[in-house]
Amino acid sequence: MEKIGKYQIIAMTILFMIGSSPLYELGIEAKQDAWLVMLAGMIAGSLLLYVYLYIQNRNSDLSLPRILNQHLGKYLGSFITVAYIVYFSYESMRNTREFSDIINISFLPSTPLYILILLMVVLSGYAVSKGIEVFFRVVEFMLPFTLIGYILIIIMFIGSNIIHLERLMPILENGILPVLRASLPEVISFPFGQIVVFLMFWSHLDDKKTLSKASVSAYIFVGIFLLLFNILNLAILDPSITSISTFPLLRSVRLIQIANFLERLDPLIIMLIYIGIFVKMTAFYLGAVLGLSSLIKVSHKKLTVIVGAFIYTISFLSPNFIYHIWIGFNQNLKYHFPIFQIWIPLILALIILVKGSSSSKPG
């Protein structure tokens, strides 16, 4: 069985949750209170993380498919496993299509979209074929460079004197209801609820006792990180401009100008976003492959091509990028993803709790 270390779990959690999240202004429906939406989503998401960790800690040596089979029975457990395989593949596809469209629109308009998507899937598939240990080691290696890149962006924002914190005022101008409406369940689903895929990986941790501490510390770090970039976008662009920008962070970065020579840093932010998206799409891809492997008892290496072909095929479901984003934010986050991120884990945790309570009673 492949093994991963505590610091690899931390690195994976950080880069996975960062993903493409800084690119968007999550919760902008609440205008200047969007940062409070992120904060509310982070707090609610931490409760969800507790549920995931409870499930894993009660079944420390099992991954999600075996946990489902053990507590829901072979047939229902296998059915839900198939549903998760489709969900993980779809999540991987969304990241694949998202970044390919960004590159197509911003840098390579003459390159056919199907070529960009193919390159993404092939690169991700190669990482998946190498297995959990290799992938997690690569992510651990990429973490310092990614964090240094984002720190440089923050320093240049400050050096350009374009941050105006007064744009965050007034706080809670329309009360707390708009904040709650914007955070539930959208901001929980993206990015915090996506960590449900780690139920496919946590059983490989070499020291199970460090799981909760490592995961929670990484979660808190990412929550503060995303909150900071949410505030920066609002303070740099103004909520009225942020609300109509497809990629507010790109627009903010284009305003950086230091000493009349340091500007046009789009390539840097695109590279940082690519690292996050690559980690996230590959983690979901790997989760789908491992799920299918456990179901049909075939080596994950042999299934990499099959799952990759499926991800590539469904990448063309959306006719264009605008529709792809609309489906993601207005349909998936509200209605589809919470089934896998919230409802099934909650029911599963409740079943585990009840079974544990029953077995602990004296006979």
State the CATH number of the domain containing residue 315.
1.10.4160.10
- 362 vs 360: CA distance, rounded Å: 6
Do 26 and 293 contact (CB within 8 A), yes or no?
Answer: no
More confident residue, 351 or 170: 351
**Residue 358, in any domain of the structure:** no
Q: Is the pLDDT score of 260 beyond 70?
A: no
- Whether residue 167 is predicted with pLDDT greater than 60 in this model: the reply is yes
Is 357 among the domain residues?
A: no
The pLDDT of residue 174 is 84
pLDDT tens per residue across span 120-153: 999 999 999 999 999 999 999 999 999 999 999 9
**Per-residue DSSP letter, 31:** G
The predicted model gives 92-107 an average pLDDT of 90
Q: What angle in degrees, to the nearest 10, is found between the helix axes of 300-314 and 266-296?
A: 120
Query: Longest C-alpha distance within the chain, in Å?
Result: 79
| Residue 115, pLDDT score | 96
| Band of pLDDT at residue 261, cut at 50, 70 and 90 | low
Residue 179 lies inside a defined structural domain of this protein: yes
Judge whether 361 lies within some domain: no
Least confident of 28-37, 96-105, 242-251, 320-329: 242-251
Res 362 pLDDT > 80: no
**DSSP-derived 3-state class of residue 321:** helix
- CB of 280 within 8 A of CB of 269? no
User: Does residue 243 carry a pLDDT above 90?
Assistant: no
pLDDT of 259 strictly over 90: no
pLDDT tens digits for range 309-347: 999 999 999 999 889 988 988 889 888 999 999 999 999
Structure tokens at 55: 């499930």
273 pLDDT more than 60: yes
Q: Within a domain: residue 214? A: yes
Rounded to 5 degrees, φ, ψ at 170 are -80, 150
What contacts 157, CB < 8 A, 6 or more positions away? 163, 232, 236, 252, 256
Write phi, then psi, for 230 (nearest 5 degrees): -65, -45
The pLDDT value recorded for residue 262 is: 65
Rounded-to-integer distance, Cα 208 and Cα 56, Å:
10
Residue 172 resides in a domain: yes
Mean pLDDT (whole number) for 236-253: 82
253 confidence band (pLDDT: 50, 70, 90): confident
Residue 155: inside a domain, yes or no?
Answer: yes
Mean pLDDT, all residues of the chain: 91
What's the predicted TM-score (pTM) here?
A: 0.94
User: Which domain, by its residues, includes 271?
Assistant: 6-350
For 242, the enclosing helix (H) or strand (E) is helix 239-242
Above 80 in pLDDT, residue 90? yes
Q: How many domains does the chain have?
A: 1
Residue 101 is assigned to a structural domain of this protein: yes
